[in-house]
Amino acid sequence: MHIVLIEPEIPGNTGNIARLCAATGIELHLVKPLGFSTDDKHLKRAGLDYWHLVKVHYHENFNEVLEKYPDHNFYYCSTKAPHAHTEVQYTSEDMLVFGKESAGIPEEILNAHWDSCVRIPMIADARSLNLSNAVAVVAYEALRQLDFGQLAEVGPGLRMWKK
């Protein structure tokens, strides 16, 4: 599975998403321009010591992603989307696409792929979720549908408690 961030702006969000990718084995794609340096201390701090576990791809623009992965399903996450994120049947090779924090996915991309746009249901008065929270919600729904693939039931930092 792949997470694609189009022009992310906030290093802490990208760091949190990188940590999610590290913990789940999801590949991370960052589409330029980025709103921060990849050696930004906030980016590194949010990802903690997980960066060695993340496979990160950098792309000059979104068309480059489309050209490099023509056989993959793309799902575009937007508050404007017609379908809930739970209505999709995900596969292990899907590309989950998210836009930048201040504006989301550009309208021209949404319009060109409208039938593949998904949203996280929320109350009408809420504008949106934080980007890293939205990525986690959609990614874990996709992983749940795939029975969590190769993810361990108990990680190295967890203990099974006896009753």
Residue ranges of the annotated binding site are: 99, 120, 128
Please check whether residue 158 lies inside any domain of the structure.
Answer: no
Q: What is the mean pLDDT of the chain?
A: 89
Beta bridge partners of 57: 29
Domain tally, the chain: 1
Sign of the CA dihedral with 23 first, then 26, 29, and 35 last: negative
Cβ-count burial of 113 within 10 angstroms (0-12 exposed, 13-18 middle, 19+ buried)?
A: middle
pLDDT of 38 reads: 76
Please check whether residue 162 lies inside any domain of the structure.
Answer: no
Please check whether residue 163 lies inside any domain of the structure.
Answer: no
CATH for 23: 3.40.1280.10
Q: What is the mean pLDDT of each run of 10 residues along the chain (163 residues)?
A: 97 91 95 83 62 91 98 96 96 97 96 97 92 97 90 58 43
Please check whether residue 28 lies inside any domain of the structure.
Answer: yes
Domain with 68 in it: 2-145
Please check whether residue 14 lies inside any domain of the structure.
Answer: yes
Please check whether residue 121 lies inside any domain of the structure.
Answer: yes
8 Å CB contact between 53 and 22: yes
Residue ranges of the annotated binding site for S-adenosyl-L-methionine are: 99, 120, 128
Cβ partners under 8 Å of residue 121, min gap 6: 84
Distance of CA 103 to the CA centre of its chain: 16
pLDDT of 36 reads: 80
- Proportion of the chain above pLDDT 70, given as a percent: 87
Rg value, the chain, Cα: 16
